[in-house]
Amino acid sequence: MTTATLDEILQNDKFNITEILKMDHRYLKSCIKILKDDEEDKKLKLKEARSFLDALHKHSEAEKKAVYAPIIKVEPLKKITIEGEIEHGITDAKVKMLTTALTGLRTLSDELEVELKVLAELVEHHIKEEEEDMFPKMRKNLDNTILNEMGFQFMKLRGFTVRDLEKYPTLQKEISGLRKFGTRLSGNFIAKVQKHVTKSAHHPR
Ligand SMILES: [Fe+2]
Ligand SMILES: [Fe+2]
């Protein structure tokens, strides 16, 4: 796969953005479950919270650039994207605040434990809307090849390590081939997405 060309990636449905985001969400959901659990040990929660905040930050930054920025210009996706962006604004601020607050801590205070629970619930709601509302709309209104390219752009920005993808051997093989493409969004990508809007999106019922 180290010889993968962009054309090959566009034909490779393993890169479909909706599947890659769902995979990344699966990890976030496993953290959310622990952070919402009032019975869970505080030390374990603190450890879990640190990797949750780190993964959430990386997920959010890559998702805003590779997904939200291009799809906000696709008319049937506009409102749901604005809603998601507002939620990202709220959660990103919480992530920043909590990342600082947890630095150097050995255990969680009751206040921080509750802050983390509230953040976990916000993110749970946000992920649910993306998966149940936004992703089906993306699949309906955008061509498969551009969804694959969006996955590829997301992967470049997200910077998964081989370890991050331990449970996803199919993608593990793909990331070694991505390095040569760098870690930035391709310059023309946002404009390119507009050219891959399906006909049904132009003529909504
Ligand atoms: Fe999101
Ligand atoms: Fe997401």
- Alpha-carbon span 83 to 80, nearest angstrom: 5
pLDDT interval class at 119 (50, 70, 90): very high
> pLDDT by residue (tens digit) across 162-187?
888 887 777 787 787 788 888 899 88
What is the model's pLDDT at position 1?
44
> pLDDT by residue (tens digit) across 22-39?
999 999 999 999 999 999
Ligand nearest to the CA of 88: 1
Question: How far is ligand 1, taken at its centre, from the CA of residue 86, in Å?
Answer: 10
Of the candidates 189, 77, 185, the residue with the CA atom closest to the CA atom of residue 135: 77
- Alpha-carbon span 186 to 164, nearest angstrom: 23
> pLDDT by residue (tens digit) across 102-112?
999 999 999 99
What is the model's pLDDT at position 205?
46
- Alpha-carbon span 43 to 132, nearest angstrom: 33
Ligand nearest to the CA of 26: 2
Question: How far is ligand 1, taken at its centre, from the CA of residue 3, in Å?
Answer: 31
Q: What is the torsional sign of CA 127, 132, 138, 143?
A: positive
- Alpha-carbon span 115 to 61, nearest angstrom: 21
Ligand nearest to the CA of 64: 1
> Percent of the chain having pLDDT more than 90?
77
Question: How far is ligand 2, taken at its centre, from the CA of residue 103, in Å?
Answer: 25
Question: How far is ligand 1, taken at its centre, from the CA of residue 62, in Å?
Answer: 9
The second-level CATH assignment, the architecture, of 11-197 is Up-down Bundle (1.20)
> pLDDT by residue (tens digit) across 43-75?
999 999 999 999 999 999 999 999 999 999 999
Ligand nearest to the CA of 126: 1
pLDDT > 60? residue 9: yes
Average pLDDT estimate for 83-91: 98
- Alpha-carbon span 18 to 156, nearest angstrom: 15
Are 147 and 13 contacting, i.e. CB atoms less than 8 angstroms apart? Answer: no
Question: How far is ligand 2, taken at its centre, from the CA of residue 4, in Å?
Answer: 26
- Alpha-carbon span 150 to 15, nearest angstrom: 8
pLDDT > 70? residue 202: no
- Alpha-carbon span 95 to 40, nearest angstrom: 21
What is the model's pLDDT at position 104?
95
Domain boundaries, the chain: 11-197
